[in-house]
Amino acid sequence: MRLRRSRKRPSEELEVAAKPTYAQLAANAADAQLASLAAAGDDAAFTTLVTRYQPAVFRWALIFSRDADEAEDIAQEVFVRMYRQLDQYRSDGLLSSWLYTITRRTANQTRRTLKRRSRLALSPAARPEREIYTTDPGGRVDRERAAAVIREMFSELPVRQREVFDLIDLQGLTPAEVAARTGMKPVSVRANLFKARSSIRARFLATHPSYSELRK
C-alpha cells in the first residue's frame, strides 16, 4: 500500500502576496535613494547598503553553499556585482528582491566554477579537507553546526528544492512571494516544496513502526 498524499489545492497555499506596508514602502524608498547615491559614486551610501543587507545576503547564500565560508565568498561576490550593476537597478522594485536575484545567479555560477575545478583536480583524495576558519571558538562551533545542518538537510536536495524549502519553511515566506522572487511558476514552487519536504522528512518518517509496511 502506498502512502496517500493529502494535497491542498493551490489556491489554499498559494495566497496572493501581501501588499507592502507603509514601513516597507518607506524602507524601499530609502534603499532606492541610497542605491542612486551609490550609483553616482557615493561610497558611504554603498557602505550603508552593505551594512543593511549583508546578513540577509549571507543567509540567502548559506542555502546555496556547503558551509558558511563558501557563503561568505558568495556574499562578497554579490556585493561586488551589486556595485557594478547599481545603475541597472530600477527603484520600482524591492532592492531585496533584486539582491536575491544577484545572489541566486552568483551562487549558481560559483557552484559551476567549483564543479569545474573539482573535475580539473587530480583526484578527490588530493584535495585538502575544507576547514572552517575563524578565530572565535564560539563562532567556529556555530559554523560547524551550520555546516552539519546544511549537509544533513540539504546535501541530497536539488538546488531549487532546497531554495524553496528554505524560503517557505525556514524563512517563512509565502509561496506567492517565493514565486515572485525566484521567477518560478506557483505550480513549480508548490511541486518543489512537496518534493523537498518529502525528501527531508522521509528519514524521520522511516522511524515510525508502521512506515515500512506502509511503503510496501
Partner 1 sequence: MNCNECLAALETESLREMTPDSPVLRHCATCPDCARLTTMLRDKEYETATVLNSLPPMSNPLTVADYAVNTAQRRRVGRVAVMLSGAALAVTLWFVGARIVYPAFEDGDVGPAGVRTETIALTCLSPQQAGDIIEPYIRSQRSRYFTPTSGISTITVRGTAAEVAKSRELIRVFENDPGAACRATATSLSKLERDLWRLQGAFPNPNPNPNPRSNPNPNRGRATTGLLGPSDQPLVKIYRPRESGPTIPEASTPPK
Which residues form the interface with partner 1 (CB under 8 A)?
1, 3-8, 13, 43, 46-47, 50-51, 54-55, 58-59, 62-63, 68, 71-72, 75-76, 79-80, 82-84, 134, 136, 139, 142-143, 145-146, 149-150, 153, 166, 168-172, 194, 197-198, 201-202, 204-205, 207-211, 214
C-alpha 42: how far from its chain's center? 29
Q: For residue 13, with 0-12 CB atoms within 10 Å meaning exposed, 13-18 middle and 19 or more buried, which class applies? A: middle
Q: Minimum Å distance from CB 208 to partner 1? A: 5
Would you say 159 and 64 are in contact if contact means Cβ atoms under 8 Å apart? Answer: yes
Q: Minimum Å distance from CB 40 to partner 1? A: 13
Nearer to partner 1, 123 or 207 (CB): 207
Q: Minimum Å distance from CB 134 to partner 1? A: 6
Q: Which residues contact 141 (CB under 8 A, 6 or more apart)?
A: none
Q: Minimum Å distance from CB 186 to partner 1? A: 15
Q: Minimum Å distance from CB 174 to partner 1? A: 11
Q: Is the dihedral of CA 17, 18, 22, 24 positive or negative?
A: negative
Nearer to partner 1, 25 or 214 (CB): 214
Nearest Cα to Cα of residue 62 among 146, 131, 168, 153: 146
Nearer to partner 1, 92 or 136 (CB): 136
Nearer to partner 1, 6 or 123 (CB): 6
Nearer to partner 1, 59 or 111 (CB): 59
Question: How many DSSP H helices and E strands does the chain contain?
Answer: 10, 0
State the Cα–Cα distance between residues 110 and 105, nearest whole angstrom.
9
Nearer to partner 1, 97 or 169 (CB): 169
Q: Minimum Å distance from CB 216 to partner 1? A: 12
Q: Which residues contact 73 (CB under 8 A, 6 or more apart)?
A: 65, 110
